[in-house]
Amino acid sequence: MANDTEKDGDARFLRRLLLAILVLATAWLFWHLRFVLVLAFGAVLFAMILLAIGRRLQRWLHIPDRLAMSLAILLIVGGFGGVLLLFGAQISGQAEAIARRLPEALEQLRELAERWGLAGWAQQRFNEIASGSSGFGDLGRFLMTLGDGLTNLVILIFGGIFLAARPQLYRTGLIKLVPEGARGNAATALDDCDTALRLWLKGRLLAMVVVGVLIGVGLWLIGVRSYLALALLAAVLEFVPFIGPILAAVPAILLAFLAGPEQALLVVGLFLIIQQLEGNLITPIIQQHAVELPAALLLFSLLAFALLFGVIGILLAEPLTVALFVLVKRLYVRDALHTDTPMPGKDG
């Protein structure tokens, strides 16, 4: 009897040890594959866009799923192609003008700094910029980074197409990885994430369009050259919270210096006004039908994902935070703590 008890104890210890090793090995694997996992999450977002467009087409045209998805892909490709065809030459010319005139704008900024008695500080900053941007090694690293980014973009797009082609297959396979007793909760959590991310995508895309149009019209009224390219840049960078609007304002302000400090001040005022409109009017209106994240949570999430994943972490910080926010509310607050909490798109 004692031997049997001792054997049972050894067996339990061995099972726990193997389980602990499995958990640590899985955590180690996930850590080393974290970039791939984030890239897969980006593919999921692109698949959601395709599915949203495909479902609309299917409902409007009464066509099969596969045909609707093919039309959604063609619509996105055709939309980008149409924009490039209509505005590509103008945007390309304005982008070249920006690149050509930025050194002149920086030089005027340095002269202005000298007049204000900041010559030493300004010279040090410009020397840092010059030393960091010169040399074939830095150019090679930039080209390698650009190439990696384009490769990741292609992988993300094709991954999104594959996911959108058979979404139920991947959803079912993911749920089957969970123990049978918890599969109902896992399915509900995935549905909640799907709802929240769709609402977030809708709100973010709408905010990008509104901000891009306002910036473009404002720069055109002020008389800033290359207003179309700058507006497009502002719309794209609006995807990145906090940092994006600041990065979008820098080239516009520098180019405005070429026409004088007065125009630069007008551009600064334009960006400040639009950011105030976005924070106090546009975003609250959109968030009535989207997902509202606490600002502090979003800020620290942005810093954390930037440290963990680099540039792609910055780009996907907000949707990743939305997904984790919903999972914590569903799986921990509701299911584990049995505390009622509203879910985006389902509760008030």
- Mean pLDDT confidence for 161-173: 90
Tokens in use for 252? Answer: 């516009």
Burial 267-280 (b: 16+ CB within 10 A, else e): beebbeebeeebee
Domain that holds residue 152: 33-334
Give the Å distances, CA to CA, from 183 to 8, 178, 186, 338: 30, 6, 5, 18
Does some domain include residue 344? no
* Whole-angstrom distance, CA of residue 45 vs CA of residue 176: 22
What was the pLDDT predicted at 253?
A: 84
Q: What is the pLDDT of residue 270?
A: 92
Give a yes or no: residue 125 inside a domain. Answer: yes
Q: Is 279 helix (H, G, I), strand (E, B) or coil?
A: helix
* Structural domain contains residue 24: no
More confident residue, 74 or 345: 74
CA angle 341, 337, 330 (to 5 degrees): 50
Q: What mean pLDDT is predicted for residues 159-187? A: 88
Q: Which residue has the tokens 């409109």?
A: 277
pTM of the entire structure? 0.76
Asked if the structure places residue 157 within a domain, the reply is yes
- Cα 64-65-70 angle, rounded to 5 deg: 100
Question: How many Å is the maximal CA-CA distance in the chain?
Answer: 94
Residue 209's CB: how many other CB atoms inside 10 A?
A: 12
Residue keyed to tokens 């290359």: 226
CA-CA distance, 185 to 178, in Å (whole number)? 10
Into how many domains does the chain fold? 1
Q: Which of 129-143, 156-170, 198-212 has the lowest mean pLDDT?
A: 129-143
| Domain contains 347 | no
**pLDDT tens per residue across span 320-332:** 999 999 888 888 8
Nearest to 254 by CA among 90, 91, 96, 99: 99
- The answer to whether residue 17 sits within a structural domain is no
Residue 213's Cα: distance from chain center in Å?
20
Q: Say how far apart CA 175 and CA 190 lie, in whole Å.
A: 9
- Percent of the chain topping pLDDT 90: 11
Mean pLDDT of the chain: 79
In 10 A of CB 26, how many CB atoms?
10
**Integer Cα distance of 270 and 224 in angstroms:** 12
Please check whether residue 7 lies inside any domain of the structure: no
- Label residue 10 by pLDDT band (50, 70, 90): low
| CA angle in degrees (0–180, nearest 5) for 227-244-159 | 105
Measured between alpha carbons, how far is 102 from 108 in angstroms, rounded to an integer?
10
User: Could you tell me if residue 63 is inside a domain?
Assistant: yes
Rounded-to-integer distance, Cα 88 and Cα 146, Å: 20
Helix ranges restricted to H, 116-242: 119-133, 136-165, 167-176, 183-222, 227-237
pLDDT at 347 over 80: no
Nearest to residue 159, comparing CAs of 69, 78, 309, 39?
39
Cite the DSSP H helix spans in 223-316: 227-237, 243-257, 261-277, 283-287, 295-309, 311-315
Is the pLDDT at 164 greater than 50, yes or no? yes
